[in-house]
A and B are shown apart, each in its own frame.
Chain A
Amino acid sequence: MKWRPAACAVTCLLAIASWVDAAGRAAVLVTSRDCAMQTISALDIRKAYLGIGVSYEGLSIRAFRLDNDERLNQIFFQSVVAMSERTYERRLLLQLLKYGQPRIQHVGSAGELATAVAGSSCSIAYMWQSDAEEWADLKSIKILWQES
């Protein structure tokens, strides 16, 4: 019984901390720091993720996706490409079948994503803002979604 007040206090503190963390959570679009691109339109982001050619100063913009974050992918389908996962995957399959164009590349972790983006100038990827800030080679160029 004597632990009950302490347990309640810890639970409340954790709940408040997670709420504060979630409230500040944002999904951002990143590119490599050596790319001069400062921002990109929502239309161009959608085009890039649908496999439609988009370029910046002559450089073809390559898009990457993250595999293992369900919440982030939900945001991607709702806010970036605005279609269901099934419809999106079929769009990419059609491009491959028609033009032999490879599908958007997936990577398994934020670290791999950061390496892929940093290694391909002016390529883009979406990630949590907190993750993006950990990588010096990356810069955030657009907020895709923010928790209200």
Chain B
Amino acid sequence: MPDGLQARCDFPMLHGKPEFRSLSCAPFRSVSSSALTPKNAEILFMKTSESIRHRRKSWWISILFLSSVSWGQQESGESRHELLFFPSIDTFNNLTDSNSVDHDSFVRPAVDVLYSYSGDRFRFLGEYLLSNEESELERIKVGWQTGRNSMLWLGRYHTPAKFWTTEYHHGQFMQTTITRPGVEEWEDDSGPMPSHITGLSLEHESPRAGEVSTNYGFAVGLGPQFIGDELVPFEPLDPESGHDLSVNLRVAYKPSVLSLSQFGVLTAWNEINVVSESSPDLADLDHIRQFTFGVFGDWQRDQWRLLANFVYFNNELQYTAAPETDQFVAGYVQAEYRVSEDWTVFGRGDIGINVDESPYLRLLPAFISHRYMLGLRWDLASFHSFMIEIADTSAQGDGFSHDDFTEIRFQWSAVFP
């Protein structure tokens, strides 16, 4: 062990926070006993834990990246790299006096970095999102082409049971609108179902006669935990126990492989462990068993595009006293009309059945249960766009009260190179 470092296996749990459990025996720099007050010790422990965690993350990223690249080079003489940047700047203005802190006006610059390495049958993909609110490794996975039209992936990826998420990922420029539908939101924006899982996934395309094809996506891995007022996905580079199983399936029918139109079904089974002590609302709630089944359609013809997705939720809330079952349907319909090559008008309605009475959704106060939105997109040059959206929105809010407000958003987004 290097000088100045000592093993501390007897450090007590601080407030029972689960994130420190795996690091209770981690080495850290010794300090004099007079400086080690309980408060200092906590700060020191947190900083050291973070530092070790970041060092460990960097090592894992480096090892995974280098091994994947060298493996890929052994497999193929021809390899390709792609590096893309999706920058965006969002502004959100809440035009209604609202008491909710979840919906204050903001300006958010962000950049999504996508890296892909591709050999003959081997592939590596990483996606990192950086904004003034978060810095997160969103996807990191290695893939092996198991057949002519099949790909097996291992790593952290976006769950195939969410339509929008697997179409646009974090590439803001690629989606026509600024906002995502409520049911498609990320976990940290009160999304009601997992977006990220870590494990194995299989993608297969089955070509039919002519241009028709059917696509299958199956995934099994570790899903999120429920902590505070949101789902928290498993972090592969900072593994902790307490995450449970998530199984996902998506089947999509494409009338023509040359067009982007597709129709299909999505289903998922998620076992979500709850950290009860993280919020008073979660007291006595041990576990959530979530089943979802959805249908989606993306129809494109000439200047028109129609997108729709409806998901049925069945949540079993496993309270220690008595379990509670909760069922609702959440979805959206979005229409787009391309006025010219540069201008697109669009509108979307986020709607649902029983969403206002759902005890599960009451645990997600920022969940957008209803939104009626109109917008305009201007595509400037090949890879820049400006968008404006105005919407009447209803968020879940705390308890039984909903948070209704009118919002206006502007966004610039682009992709380089």
Instruction: Write the A81-116 contact mask toward B (1 if CB under 8 angstroms, else 0).
Output: 000111001110110111111110100000000000
Q: What is the CA–CA distance of A105 and B118 in the complex, to the nearest angstrom? A: 13
Beta-carbon nearest neighbor of A105 in chain B: B80
Beta-carbon nearest neighbor of A102 in chain B: B80
Beta-carbon nearest neighbor of B143 in chain A: A100
Contact A96:B257 (CB < 8 A) given known A53-B149, A86-B379, A103-B82: no
Residues on A with C-beta less than 8 A from B151 are: 99
State the Cβ distance, A57 to closest chain B Cβ, in Å: 12
Partner of A97, one of B80, B148, B171, B205: B171
Contact A96:B114 (CB < 8 A) given known A50-B258, A86-B379, A90-B174: yes
Question: Does residue B6 face the partner (Cβ distance < 8 Å to A)?
Answer: no
Question: Does residue A47 face the partner (Cβ distance < 8 Å to B)?
Answer: yes
> Quick check: A101 and B116 within 8 Å, CB to CB?
yes
Residues on B with C-beta less than 8 A from A84 are: 341
In the complex, how many residues of chain A place their beta carbon closer than 8 angstroms to a beta carbon of chain B? 25
> Quick check: A85 and B382 within 8 Å, CB to CB?
yes
Beta-carbon nearest neighbor of B115 in chain A: A100
State the Cβ distance, B88 to closest chain A Cβ, in Å: 14
> Quick check: B382 and A86 within 8 Å, CB to CB?
yes
Residues on B with C-beta less than 8 A from A46 are: 258
Question: Does residue B377 face the partner (Cβ distance < 8 Å to A)?
Answer: no
Contact A100:B148 (CB < 8 A) given known A47-B258, A93-B415, A105-B80: no
Q: What is the CA–CA distance of A55 and B207 in the complex, to the nearest angstrom? A: 13
In the complex, how many residues of chain B place their beta carbon closer than 8 angstroms to a beta carbon of chain A? 33
Question: Does residue A73 face the partner (Cβ distance < 8 Å to B)?
Answer: no
Partner of A52, one of B166, B203, B257: B257
> Quick check: A96 and B203 within 8 Å, CB to CB?
no
> Quick check: A53 and B148 within 8 Å, CB to CB?
yes
> Quick check: B84 and A100 within 8 Å, CB to CB?
no
State the Cβ distance, B106 to closest chain A Cβ, in Å: 25
Which residues 92-149 of B sit at the A interface, judged by CB distance below 8 A?
114, 116-118, 123-125, 143, 148-149
List, sorted by A's number, 15 A–B pairs whose CB atoms are closer than 8 Å.
A50-B258, A53-B148, A53-B149, A53-B205, A55-B148, A93-B415, A96-B82, A96-B114, A97-B84, A97-B171, A100-B123, A100-B143, A101-B123, A102-B81, A102-B82
Known: A96-B82, A101-B123, A102-B81. 14 other contacts (CB 8 A): A46-B258, A47-B258, A52-B257, A93-B174, A97-B169, A97-B174, A98-B169, A99-B123, A100-B82, A100-B118, A100-B123, A100-B125, A100-B143, A102-B80
Q: Which residues of A contact B (CB under 8 A)?
A: 43, 46-47, 50, 52-53, 55, 84-86, 89-91, 93-94, 96-103, 105, 120
